[in-house]
Amino acid sequence: MSLKKDEHAEIKTADNSAILFVLSGKVSLSCIDFKNKISEEMLFLAPGSKYELSTEEETELVKCEIVKNVLTKISQWLSPISENQVEEDEVYLTLPVKYNLKKFLEFFQQYYSSGLNTSEIVEWKQEGLFLLLKNSYSKRELTGFFKTILGENMDFKEFVYANYYSVKNLQEFADLAKCSLSVFCRDFKKNFGESAYQWMLKRKSQYVLRDILSTSIPFQELADKYQFSSQAHFTKFCKQRYNLTPRELRSSNENYRMNYQQLLN
What pLDDT digit, counting tens, does each position of 20-79 carry?
999 999 998 887 667 788 899 999 888 777 788 889 999 999 888 887 778 788 887 887
In this structure, the answer to whether residues 138 and 163 fall within a common structural domain is no
pLDDT higher for 263 or 233?
A: 233
265 occurs within a structural domain:
no
In this structure, the answer to whether residues 101 and 66 fall within a common structural domain is yes
In this structure, the answer to whether residues 129 and 165 fall within a common structural domain is no
The CA angle 152-87-68, to the nearest 5 degrees, is 35
**Domain-ending residue, one of 118, 145, 172:** 145
Q: Residue 174: which CATH number?
A: 1.10.10.60
- pLDDT at residue 180 is higher than 90: yes
111 occurs within a structural domain:
yes
121 occurs within a structural domain:
yes
pTM value?
Answer: 0.67
In this structure, the answer to whether residues 82 and 177 fall within a common structural domain is no
In this structure, the answer to whether residues 107 and 181 fall within a common structural domain is no
Identify the pLDDT of residue 218: 93
Cα distance between residue 34 and residue 107, in whole Å: 30
In this structure, the answer to whether residues 165 and 232 fall within a common structural domain is yes
- pLDDT at residue 238 is higher than 50: yes
**Domain-ending residue, one of 145, 164, 191:** 145
For the beta sheet containing 27-30, the strands, ordered from the edge strand earlier in sequence to the opposite edge, are 8-12, 50-55, 27-30, 35-38
15 occurs within a structural domain:
yes
In this structure, the answer to whether residues 188 and 209 fall within a common structural domain is yes
**Domain-ending residue, one of 145, 170, 194:** 145
Q: Residue 101: give the domain boundaries.
A: 2-145
209 occurs within a structural domain:
yes
Q: Residue 11: which CATH number?
A: 2.60.120
pLDDT higher for 262 or 129?
A: 129
Identify the pLDDT of residue 260: 34
In this structure, the answer to whether residues 36 and 124 fall within a common structural domain is yes
In this structure, the answer to whether residues 118 and 214 fall within a common structural domain is no
233 occurs within a structural domain:
yes
Identify the pLDDT of residue 120: 66
In this structure, the answer to whether residues 131 and 160 fall within a common structural domain is no
Over residues 94-128, the pLDDT tens digits come to 899 999 888 888 887 776 666 666 666 777 788 88
Cα distance between residue 241 and residue 233, in whole Å: 12
Looking at the structure of the chain, the number of domains it has is 2
Please classify residue 32 by burial: count the beta carbons closer than 10 Å to its beta carbon, then call 0-12 exposed, 13-18 middle and 19+ buried. middle
In this structure, the answer to whether residues 231 and 185 fall within a common structural domain is yes
In this structure, the answer to whether residues 28 and 138 fall within a common structural domain is yes
Mean pLDDT calculated for residue range 71-95: 65
Cα distance between residue 204 and residue 43, in whole Å: 23
Identify the pLDDT of residue 33: 65
